[in-house]
Amino acid sequence: MRRDMATVGLIGRGAIGGPIIEALAAGSVPGHRLGSVLVRSPAKEYETDRLEALLAARPSLVIEAAGQDALRQHGEAVLRAGIDLLVFSIGALADAELEAVLHGAARGGGRLLLSTGAVGGLDALKALREAGAIDSVRLHSTTTCGALLRPWMDERQQAALRDATAPVPVFEGTAREACRLFPASANVSAAIALASVGLDRVTVQLVGDPQATAKRHRIEAEGADSRITMVVENRISADNPRTSRITPFAALRWLRDQAADIVVGA
């Protein structure tokens, strides 16, 4: 069956958007072509600083790759235009008000799609949830100390991270609270929570390691039918220390699946 080419727009360029834009512009993603890219300072012919111009290119999908503020600013309008929205900044959904707005917009417009980003195994968590009650889900994440530095920290907390010579425990609490306090580093926790027991029941531990060269996520879930333990280690992006290098390729994999005749892991 012949499939028409789908136009893909993006919000954001950066460490996540860049590889996606490059692949689409090169025509290396079957069944998909690049539309417009929304950025603050347009420099290329396909870039714009107006959401209206991005939507005027009539994309069938828009990929958000610009952070939680961009999702808050533009997400509702994209969905209400009847356009599917693939989101990387999943942690923004820890804001119950924003989640309600986006769900409401999705009911009458495009679909809200949540990227797997830098984590795997969400299909197993969703299958365990489908099979029955999940008793517990825990996430232990280790990254660089600098990636966890936040403006709200007092001088003692900041110094502990800046001067660390050994791993430093930084946070333990729910996924919702992790997303609020560490918006650039907690999207993995949100993805795991939304695939399993929700943002208020997933326990998250965040650790800064001065020797870290990769982000390490250990996920443990227990239910009536299965016990799942997964460890994911991803090289850190050279362009953004808060992002794993693999993150944008989750979206490219998803796009390829949409045009494939055989899909593994559907």
| 187 is known to lie in a ligand binding site | yes
**How many CB atoms are located within 10 Å of the residue 96 CB?**
10
Q: Which residues of 161-198 are buried (b: 16+ CB within 10 A; e: fewer)?
A: beebeeebebbeebbbbbbebbbbbbbbbbbbbbbbbe
Instruction: At 143, list the tokens.
Output: 């990254």
Among residues 32, 74, 140, 217, the one annotated as catalytic is 217
Instruction: At 104, list the tokens.
Output: 């409401």
Our answer to whether residue 74 is catalytic in this structure is no
- Beta strands 61-64; 6-11: pairing state: parallel
For residue 52, give Cα distances in angstroms to 37, 86, 93, 124. Answer: 11, 18, 24, 39
Amino acid present at 239: D
Nearest to 192, CA basis, from 98, 117, 82, 97: 117
Contacts of 112 (CB under 8 A, 6+ apart): 75, 79, 85, 87, 102, 103, 105, 106
Is 140 in contact with 170 (CB distance < 8 Å)? no
Instruction: At 86, list the tokens.
Output: 């693939």
Q: How far is 2 from 71, CA to CA, in rounded Å?
A: 33
Alpha helices, H only, the chain:
14-25, 51-56, 68-80, 96-107, 122-131, 145-148, 155-162, 175-181, 187-195, 247-259
| 240 is known to lie in a ligand binding site | no
The catalytic residue positions are: 217
Binding site, annotated residues: 118, 187
Binding site, annotated residues for NAD(+): 118, 187
